[in-house]
Protein backbone atom coordinates (compact mmCIF):
# COMPACT_ATOMS: atom_id res chain seq x y z
CA UNK A 1 0.00 0.00 0.00
CA UNK A 2 1.39 3.40 -0.98
CA UNK A 3 1.49 6.35 1.34
CA UNK A 4 -1.58 8.55 1.33
CA UNK A 5 -1.02 12.14 0.27
CA UNK A 6 -1.73 13.26 3.86
CA UNK A 7 0.84 10.86 5.29
CA UNK A 8 3.40 11.79 2.65
CA UNK A 9 2.95 15.50 3.41
CA UNK A 10 3.19 14.90 7.16
CA UNK A 11 6.37 12.84 6.81
CA UNK A 12 7.89 15.48 4.53
CA UNK A 13 7.15 18.04 7.26
CA UNK A 14 8.81 15.72 9.79
CA UNK A 15 11.90 15.46 7.59
CA UNK A 16 12.10 19.24 7.70
CA UNK A 17 11.66 19.18 11.50
CA UNK A 18 14.42 16.59 11.91
CA UNK A 19 16.77 18.60 9.70
CA UNK A 20 15.94 21.73 11.71
CA UNK A 21 16.77 19.80 14.89
CA UNK A 22 20.16 18.91 13.43
CA UNK A 23 20.75 22.53 12.41
CA UNK A 24 19.69 23.80 15.85
CA UNK A 25 21.95 21.33 17.64
CA UNK A 26 24.86 22.27 15.39
CA UNK A 27 24.29 25.93 16.31
CA UNK A 28 24.30 24.91 19.96
CA UNK A 29 27.53 23.00 19.40
CA UNK A 30 29.09 26.11 17.87
CA UNK A 31 27.99 28.16 20.90
CA UNK A 32 29.54 25.59 23.26
CA UNK A 33 32.81 25.66 21.29
CA UNK A 34 32.78 29.44 21.54
CA UNK A 35 32.43 29.42 25.34
CA UNK A 36 35.18 26.79 25.69
CA UNK A 37 33.03 23.78 26.51
CA UNK A 38 34.46 21.34 23.96
CA UNK A 39 32.91 18.30 25.63
CA UNK A 40 29.38 19.65 25.45
CA UNK A 41 30.10 20.87 21.91
CA UNK A 42 31.07 17.31 20.97
CA UNK A 43 27.92 15.94 22.64
CA UNK A 44 25.83 18.36 20.57
CA UNK A 45 27.66 17.40 17.34
CA UNK A 46 26.90 13.73 17.97
CA UNK A 47 23.28 14.75 18.59
CA UNK A 48 23.34 16.65 15.28
CA UNK A 49 24.45 13.50 13.46
CA UNK A 50 21.73 11.49 15.17
CA UNK A 51 19.06 13.96 14.02
CA UNK A 52 20.39 13.72 10.47
CA UNK A 53 20.05 9.94 10.67
CA UNK A 54 16.45 10.34 11.85
CA UNK A 55 15.69 12.59 8.87
CA UNK A 56 17.25 10.11 6.47
CA UNK A 57 15.20 7.21 7.90
CA UNK A 58 12.06 9.19 7.11
CA UNK A 59 13.49 10.12 3.69
CA UNK A 60 14.09 6.49 2.72
CA UNK A 61 10.76 5.38 4.18
CA UNK A 62 8.84 7.74 1.90
CA UNK A 63 10.49 6.18 -1.16
CA UNK A 64 10.01 2.63 0.17
CA UNK A 65 6.29 3.40 0.32
CA UNK A 66 6.11 4.79 -3.22
CA UNK A 67 5.98 8.42 -2.15
CA UNK A 68 7.96 11.50 -3.03
CA UNK A 69 10.14 13.68 -0.84
CA UNK A 70 9.73 17.43 -1.12
CA UNK A 71 12.28 19.41 0.87
CA UNK A 72 11.33 22.80 2.26
CA UNK A 73 13.55 25.58 3.58
CA UNK A 74 15.01 25.11 7.05
CA UNK A 75 14.55 27.97 9.48
CA UNK A 76 17.70 29.69 10.74
CA UNK A 77 18.44 28.45 14.27
CA UNK A 78 19.14 30.57 17.29
CA UNK A 79 22.87 31.30 17.60
CA UNK A 80 23.19 32.89 21.04
CA UNK A 81 22.33 31.33 24.37
CA UNK A 82 22.51 32.56 27.94
CA UNK A 83 24.60 29.67 29.25
CA UNK A 84 25.25 25.95 28.85
CA UNK A 85 22.32 25.44 31.22
CA UNK A 86 20.15 27.43 28.82
CA UNK A 87 21.29 25.16 25.98
CA UNK A 88 20.38 22.09 28.02
CA UNK A 89 16.95 23.48 28.91
CA UNK A 90 16.26 24.35 25.27
CA UNK A 91 17.36 20.90 24.10
CA UNK A 92 14.94 19.32 26.58
CA UNK A 93 12.08 21.59 25.46
CA UNK A 94 12.90 20.89 21.81
CA UNK A 95 12.90 17.12 22.37
CA UNK A 96 9.48 17.43 24.01
CA UNK A 97 8.30 19.31 20.90
CA UNK A 98 9.68 16.61 18.61
CA UNK A 99 7.92 13.97 20.71
CA UNK A 100 4.67 15.83 20.15
CA UNK A 101 5.32 15.90 16.39
CA UNK A 102 5.97 12.15 16.33
CA UNK A 103 2.79 11.53 18.32
CA UNK A 104 0.83 13.61 15.79
CA UNK A 105 2.29 11.50 12.97
CA UNK A 106 1.29 8.34 14.77
CA UNK A 107 -2.23 9.67 15.30
CA UNK A 108 -2.43 10.37 11.56
CA UNK A 109 -1.22 6.84 10.81
CA UNK A 110 -3.99 5.51 13.06
CA UNK A 111 -6.61 7.69 11.36
CA UNK A 112 -5.37 6.64 7.91
CA UNK A 113 -5.27 2.97 8.98
CA UNK A 114 -1.67 2.95 7.76
CA UNK A 115 -0.39 -0.06 9.67
CA UNK A 116 3.07 0.05 8.11
CA UNK A 117 3.53 3.66 9.22
CA UNK A 118 2.38 2.74 12.72
CA UNK A 119 5.07 0.08 12.95
CA UNK A 120 7.69 2.41 11.45
CA UNK A 121 6.79 5.24 13.84
CA UNK A 122 6.99 3.01 16.91
CA UNK A 123 10.79 3.18 16.66
CA UNK A 124 10.60 6.99 16.84
CA UNK A 125 8.23 6.86 19.80
CA UNK A 126 10.71 4.66 21.67
CA UNK A 127 13.60 6.85 20.55
CA UNK A 128 11.90 9.99 21.90
CA UNK A 129 11.54 8.40 25.34
CA UNK A 130 15.32 7.97 25.33
CA UNK A 131 15.95 11.46 23.88
CA UNK A 132 13.81 13.17 26.52
CA UNK A 133 15.40 11.15 29.31
CA UNK A 134 18.92 12.07 28.14
CA UNK A 135 18.02 15.75 27.79
CA UNK A 136 16.33 15.88 31.19
CA UNK A 137 19.36 14.21 32.81
CA UNK A 138 21.71 16.80 31.34
CA UNK A 139 19.48 19.61 32.64
CA UNK A 140 19.72 18.01 36.09
CA UNK A 141 23.52 17.68 35.78
CA UNK A 142 23.83 21.37 34.99
CA UNK A 143 21.58 22.25 37.92
CA UNK A 144 23.86 20.24 40.24
CA UNK A 145 27.03 21.78 38.79
CA UNK A 146 25.75 25.38 38.81
CA UNK A 147 28.09 27.70 40.68
CA UNK A 148 30.85 25.09 40.95
CA UNK A 149 33.53 25.67 38.27
CA UNK A 150 35.26 22.34 38.94
CA UNK A 151 31.96 20.50 38.61
CA UNK A 152 31.32 22.29 35.29
CA UNK A 153 34.71 21.15 34.00
CA UNK A 154 33.99 17.56 35.07
CA UNK A 155 30.55 17.72 33.46
CA UNK A 156 32.05 19.03 30.22
CA UNK A 157 34.50 16.13 30.19
CA UNK A 158 31.71 13.65 30.92
CA UNK A 159 29.59 15.00 28.06
CA UNK A 160 32.60 14.94 25.73
CA UNK A 161 33.06 11.22 26.39
CA UNK A 162 29.79 10.45 24.57
CA UNK A 163 30.36 7.81 21.94
CA UNK A 164 29.02 8.12 18.42
CA UNK A 165 25.82 6.13 18.43
pLDDT in tens, 74-91: 999 999 999 999 999 999
Query: Where do the structural domains in the chain lie, given as residue ranges?
Result: 5-160
Position 165 confidence tier, pLDDT thresholds 50, 70, 90:
low
Q: What confidence tens digit (pLDDT) does each residue in 34-59 have?
A: 999 999 999 999 999 999 999 999 99
Residue 162 has pLDDT above 90, yes or no: no
CATH topology of domain 5-160: Ferritin (1.20.1260)
pTM (2 decimals)? Answer: 0.94
Closest CA to 17 of 98, 124, 78, 105: 98
Alpha helices in the chain (DSSP H): 5-34, 38-64, 84-111, 115-145, 149-160
Q: What is the mean pLDDT of residues 95-118?
A: 98
Amino acid sequence: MELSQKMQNAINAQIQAELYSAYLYLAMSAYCEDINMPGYARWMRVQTEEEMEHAMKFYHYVFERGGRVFLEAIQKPQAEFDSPQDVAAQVYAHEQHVTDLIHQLYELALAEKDYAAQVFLQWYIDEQVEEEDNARTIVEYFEMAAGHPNAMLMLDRKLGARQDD
